[in-house]
C-alpha cells in the first residue's frame, strides 16, 4: 500500500473515485499478490486456490454505497468470500490512470507514441512541508521517523530533506525537565531547522512519529500547505507518432496491437495523422481537451454516439477500441513495477499479473449465408 501511494497517490484520483484498500486488514502480511483489471468469480477462485493474499485491481469493487451484503447476490457474495478468506482487495483507478507510468502512458507507448504529456494536467498535489527544530544529535532519528511516515519523497527521489543551522531561544517553566538548559532560565541553543515534504494526508502520522523520537518536551513544528503543479500527473496523454500515418492504417494497427475484436472510427480525422491523444477506458468526455492539445485523433475505449458528431465538428477523429482493451494493458507492467519497487525497498512479496481476464463485451460475427 505504501509503494502504491508513492507511485499513484490517492490525491491524484478524481474526487468521485473510490481508491485504496477496500477489503482486508492493512496490517496483514502479503507474501503473494496479483494485479488484475477487475474482480470476477474466476479471478477470485483462482486467487484463493493459488494462495494469493492481496489483489490489486484497477476497477474498484466498492463504488456505490452498499445497502445489503448478501451471499445470493454475486457482487456482494464475492466481497464476503474474499473477506472470510482473508483476501485483501486494493483498488487503484483514476489515480493509476493519472500517474506517470500508469494506464495512459502504457497505452500511448503500446500505440507507438513518443513525447507523451498529460492531456489534462493535475492541478494540486495536496502536499505539505513539515518543518521541525531539533538539536543536531537528534536529527538522524527525527528525519528517519519522518521518512518512515511517508515524508521526503520528491518524484523518484526518497529521503529528501533540508537542514539549516540556527539559534533557538526559550524559557522553560520552573516545573519542567528540558532536554537542554535549566528550568526558569532564558536559554539560547544551537538547533537545526529540518524541512521535509510530505503528503498532506500523512501529516498526523508524521507528527506522532516525530514526537515519539524527538528529545524535546515540546518540539516546535510548522506545517505549510504546498500548491505545486505535479510533474507528469494528469488524465489522458497526448504524443507524436514517429512518422505520419494514414488514419485508417493507424486504426487497424492499433486494434491489432490491443487485440480489439471490434473497433469504431468516427469524427473527421485528416488523411494523415501525427499527433494522437489517448484516454484508457471511457474517455470521450475529454474530446475538447484533445482538440485543444492539437490532437488529430483521440484513442479511447468507448464514447457516446454524439461524441463522434462532436469530433467531426471539431475536425478530428475518435477511435474506440474497447474499455477492456485500453485498460488491461496496465496489468503486466503494474506487476513488474511493483516487484521492482518492493525489492528495492527490501520487501519480499511475489507479485504476478493475472492475465486470465475476459472482456465482458464480445463481438458478434454474422453467419455466412
Cell matching residue 65:
454505497
The 10s digit of each residue's pLDDT in 117-157 is 999 998 765 789 999 999 999 999 999 999 999 899 887 78
Asked if the model's pLDDT at residue 228 lies above 80, the reply is no
Q: Is 150 helix (H, G, I), strand (E, B) or coil?
A: coil
The 10s digit of each residue's pLDDT in 231-256 is 899 999 999 999 999 999 999 999 99
pLDDT attached to residue 172:
86
pLDDT attached to residue 124:
63
Burial of 329 by CB count in 10 Å (0-12 exposed, 13-18 middle, 19+ buried)? Answer: buried
Torsion of CA 152, 155, 158, 160, to 10 degrees: -50
Whole-number percent of the chain with pLDDT over 70: 99
**CATH 3.30.70.120 in the chain, residue ranges:** 127-226
| Start-end of H helices in 174-322 | 203-213, 247-258, 287-292, 305-314
Q: Are 277 and 238 in contact (CB under 8 A)?
A: yes
Q: Are 167 and 258 in contact (CB under 8 A)?
A: no
Q: Is 69 helix (H, G, I), strand (E, B) or coil?
A: coil
Q: What is the CATH number of domain 127-226?
A: 3.30.70.120
The 10s digit of each residue's pLDDT in 194-215 is 999 998 888 999 999 999 999 9
pTM of the model: 0.79
> Which class in CATH covers the domain with range 2-93+328-353?
alpha beta
pLDDT attached to residue 229:
64
CATH among 3.40.1390.30, 3.30.460.10, 3.30.750.24, 3.50.50.60 for 111-122+233-321: 3.40.1390.30
Q: Which residues contact 221 (CB under 8 A, 6 or more apart)?
A: 130, 131, 132, 133, 207, 210
**CATH 3.40.1390.30 in the chain, residue ranges:** 2-93+328-353, 111-122+233-321
Amino acid at each position: 500500500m505504501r509503494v502504491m501511494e508513492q507511485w499513484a497517490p490517492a490525491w491524484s484520483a478524481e474526487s468521485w473515485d473510490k481508491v485504496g484498500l477496500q477489503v482486508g486488514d492493512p496490517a496483514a502480511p502479503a507474501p503473494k499478490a496479483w494485479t488484475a483489471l477487475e474482480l470476477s468469480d474466476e479471478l477470485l477462485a483462482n486467487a484463493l486456490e493459488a494462495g494469493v493474499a492481496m489483489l490489486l485491481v484497477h476497477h474498484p469493487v466498492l463504488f456505490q454505497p452498499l445497502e445489503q451484503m448478501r451471499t445470493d447476490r454475486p457482487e456482494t457474495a464475492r466481497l464476503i468470500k474474499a473477506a472470510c478468506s482473508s483476501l485483501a482487495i486494493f483498488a487503484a483507478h483514476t489515480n493509476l490512470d493519472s500517474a506517470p507510468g500508469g494506464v495512459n502512458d502504457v497505452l500511448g507507448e503500446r500505440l507507438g507514441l513518443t513525447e507523451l504529456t498529460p492531456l489534462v494536467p493535475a492541478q494540486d498535489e495536496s502536499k505539505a512541508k513539515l518543518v521541525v527544530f531539533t538539536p543536531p544529535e537528534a536529527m538522524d532519528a527525527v528525519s528517519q521517523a519522518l521518512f518512515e511516515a511517508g515524508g521526503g519523497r520528491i518524484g523518484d527521489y526518497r529521503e529528501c530533506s533540508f537542514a539549516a543551522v540556527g539559534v533557538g531561544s526559550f524559557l522553560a517553566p520552573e516545573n519542567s525537565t528540558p532536554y537542554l538548559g535549566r528550568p526558569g532560565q532564558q536559554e539560547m541553543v544551537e538547533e537545526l531547522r529540518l524541512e521535509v515534504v510530505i503528503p498532506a494526508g500523512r501529516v498526523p502520522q508524521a507528527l506522532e512519529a516525530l514526537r515519539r523520537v524527538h528529545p524535546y518536551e515540546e518540539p516546535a513544528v510548522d506545517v505549510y500547505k504546498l500548491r505545486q503543479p505535479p510533474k507528469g500527473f494528469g488524465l489522458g496523454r497526448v504524443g507524436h507518432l514517429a512518422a505520419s500515418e494514414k488514419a485508417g492504417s493507424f486504426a487497424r494497427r492499433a486494434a491489432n496491437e490491443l487485440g480489439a475484436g471490434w473497433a469504431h472510427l468516427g469524427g473527421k480525422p485528416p488523411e494523415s495523422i501525427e499527433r494522437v491523444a489517448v484516454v484508457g477506458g471511457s474517455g470521450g468526455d475529454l474530446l475538447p481537451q484533445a482538440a485543444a492539445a492539437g490532437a488529430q485523433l483521440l484513442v479511447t475505449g468507448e464514447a457516446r454516439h454524439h461524441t463522434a458528431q462532436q469530433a467531426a465538428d471539431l475536425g478530428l477523429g475518435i477511435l474506440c477500441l474497447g474499455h477492456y482493451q485500453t485498460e488491461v494493458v496496465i496489468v503486466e507492467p503494474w506487476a513488474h513495477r511493483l516487484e521492482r519497487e518492493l525489492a528495492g525497498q527490501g520487501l519480499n512479496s511475489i507479485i504476478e499479473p493475472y492475465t486470465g481476464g475476459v472482456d465482458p463485451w464480445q463481438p458478434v460475427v454474422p453467419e455466412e449465408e
